[in-house]
Structure 1
Amino acid sequence: MKKILLIVILFAGQSAFAQQTDFLKIKKYRVGYLEDAIQETSGLNILNGKLYTFNDSGNPAELFEIDKKNGKIIRKLKTNLINTDWEALASDGENFYIGDFGNNEGTRKDLMIYKVPYQRLDESITIKIPGSERSFDGTKILFYYPEQTEFTSKNIKNDFDAEAMIYLNGKLHIFTKEWVSKSTSHYIVDPEISELQKAEKTETYKTGFVVTDASYFDKKLYLVGYTKKTEVFLDVFTETEPGIFFKEKPKHYYLGTALSLSQIEGISVDESGIYISGEKFRYPLGTTKPSFYFIPKDQLRD
């Protein structure tokens, strides 16, 4: 009897999960593995039809243009910037915005976003030609979270980390990675202000997972991330008014686990579909290679 009851409970739990979640297991959409130079990919962004990524902390301050078909490196772009903890990449059509605001410990007081003119970056040529790497610099956009009053070290136990950002309506929109509350808060930063500014909190949503990247396309916000159990999810929100996303529940997709997908850290969307990147994921029984995925637009349910 106990065994039957347990089966019923498990089935009920699975049914409830299925009713709330669409399953879009993306392993079948893997189109390539990322090269060693970008095995810690930590963001994706499309600008002028080209797809870019970079590595996070502990790596050189470089951007990479990658092939949208298979994730292979087309060219490398060196910078004169500092990669304290690069975590997000956005663009306004003329400039790149590099979010150097990774804050796992919750101790940083130097959160910033680099603004880099795309024209300088685009002057570089393919890395396959010796000496083709070019350096560029940028300006700093400094900000802080006014709600954060404590800066003692709490590794992955704070709510003031961030890895996701988009550019929209002349502003930069940051979506936090809240380790404790398993939510995300939407902050706005003005890219035209040069002095230290406070990020404006506009809305919060209980995702149930930590958000690792964001993309905006056709009045929809795409947030991707994972749980401590390595489950990977994608939430797709509809913009209900300019720059507001959390008034309605999103479409909630289960994508698989990091054990087979890699640690998902990047997302970018265009008219063709969704590009997703994941860094190398190590676990007790092995390692998952850094991976690159493309999900055709028609595979998402309306």
Structure 2
Amino acid sequence: MKRTFSFILACLSLLSVSCTSNSVTDESVPEVVIPEPVPAVVKSNLVTEVGFMWTFATESSGVVLSDGFIYTHNDSGNSSVFFKVNPTDGTLIQTIKVTNFSNVDWEDITADDDFIYIGDFGNNDGIRKDLKVLKISKSQFKNATDAVVYVTAEAIQFSYTEQTSFITTSTHNFDCETVISKGDSLYIFTKDRGDNATRVYKLSKTPGEYALTAIGGYNVKGLVTGGDYNAQTNEVVLIGYSASGHKNSFIYLLSNFTADSFFSGKVVEKIIGNSTNDWQTEGITFGSADGKKLFLSCETTAFTKSELYTTDKTTLGF
């Protein structure tokens, strides 16, 4: 019995050693922690931080100031909602849900007195045949006080007459991230991955289907991601970054042009980023009727959270 007991103890001891030597301890496998993006390590002395928007608009892709509020939205893969934001601190006031259209790739937002327009025309691979601008009546949400408001939209559909190939490629000229409102028309500025230029297309505000041909263009030597028009000063502002990555962010101011020949007048560029940091500047809007103030936004990246900024033409040297 004593021998048997000793044998059992020996076996248990070996088993214990075996289990200990082959077991995976908490120390051997460190916990995987996915960090939040750090707050705005990308700094520019040409812009002032207003407030973070990453908790609701992590991929803020367009901004517009309308009726005293900022409106912004996320891009592809997100819900079909846009957000009413306080322009003084970037906090969320209201979420507005479009119930009859999905967010294929919402890339910019603009407005006139009566409507919000959202450009669902992001086309990274150059294969989309469902490009559209959503037209949303402000009367559906303007006086609403609920935290979430539900609205419907009408579609202004379009295609590019110059596009004959719809084969996936990263070097095409039919991506788009910018729409502005001027008078009774919308104007689309493309994000040309093929030649780093931008082309301008005129689009009716009346829902329907349209085949568009470029009415102008300019070699911006980069990728245009947002824009706005100021009726009082008759100026257009564009924002973007270099084709080599989300670096060397730039702002263009277009002025002294006639009608919709936007690049026929004075064209001034200001670099606001640098060649080192990843700062994905996406949206821009005039922030005052006199055109002196500007708001801009960026998407969340590994280097910065989605944020609302402000600047002015004097600071930019315009």
Residues 261/48 of structure 1: CA separation in 2 closer, same or farther (3 Å cut): farther
Amino acid at match of 2:223: V
Deviation readout 1:175-194 (Å, 9 max, x if unpaired): 00001110000100112252
Distance 1:111 1:25 in 2: 34
In the alignment, is residue 102 of structure 1 matched against residue 122 of structure 2?
Answer: yes
Q: How does 1:1-302 map to 2 (within 5 A)?
A: 25-26=44-45, 28-80=47-99, 81-125=101-145, 127=147, 133-154=148-169, 156-194=170-208, 196-217=209-230, 218-227=233-242, 228-229=244-245, 230-257=247-274, 260=277, 262-271=279-288, 273-282=293-302, 287-302=303-318
Distance 1:281 1:231 in 2: 15
Offset, 1:163: 0.3
Aligned equivalents of 1:136 and 1:52: distance in 2?
A: 15
CA 1:221–1:26: 2 relative to 1, 3 Å: farther
**1:3: which partner in 2?**
none
Normalized per residue, which structure has more strand? 1
Aligned counterparts of 1:88 and 1:31: Cα–Cα separation in 2: 20
Q: Deviations over 1:251-276 (max 9, x none)?
A: 11010148657311110103251000
- Give the superposed CA RMSD: 1.9
Contact 1:262 1:289 in 2 (8 A): no
Percent identity, aligned pairs only?
A: 29
Distance (whole Å) between structure 2 residues aligned to residue 251 and residue 223 of structure 1: 10
TM-score normalised to structure 1 length = 0.84
Residues 215-272 of structure 1, C-alpha deviation per residue, up to 9 Å, x if partnerless?
1112111110011242100111114111221123511101014865731111010325
User: Is the CA contact (8 Å cut-off) linking 2:188 and 2:201 kept in structure 1?
Assistant: yes
Q: TM-score when scaled to structure 2?
A: 0.80
CA distance in 2, matches of 1:171, 1:254: 29
C-alpha separation between the residues in 1 aligned to 2:166 and 2:278?
34
- Is the CA contact 1:103–1:161 (under 8 Å) kept in the aligned structure 2? yes
Whole-Å separation in 2 of the counterparts to 1:114 and 1:28: 31
Q: Per-residue deviation at 1:32? A: 2.0
Q: Distance in 2 between matches of 1:105 and 1:291?
A: 27
* Paired AA for residue 167 in structure 1: S
Q: Rg larger in 1 or in 2?
A: 2
Which structure 1 residue ranges, 5 or more long, are not aligned? 1-23, 128-132
Q: Distance in 1 between matches of 2:139 and 2:103?
A: 21
Structure 2 SS opposite 1:36: coil
CA contact (8 A) 2:181 2:228 kept: no
> Counterparts of 1:172 and 1:71 in 2: how far apart (Å)?
27
Secondary structure in 1 aligned to 2:140? helix
The residue identity in structure 2 corresponding to 1:299 is T
The one-letter amino acid of 2:212's match is A
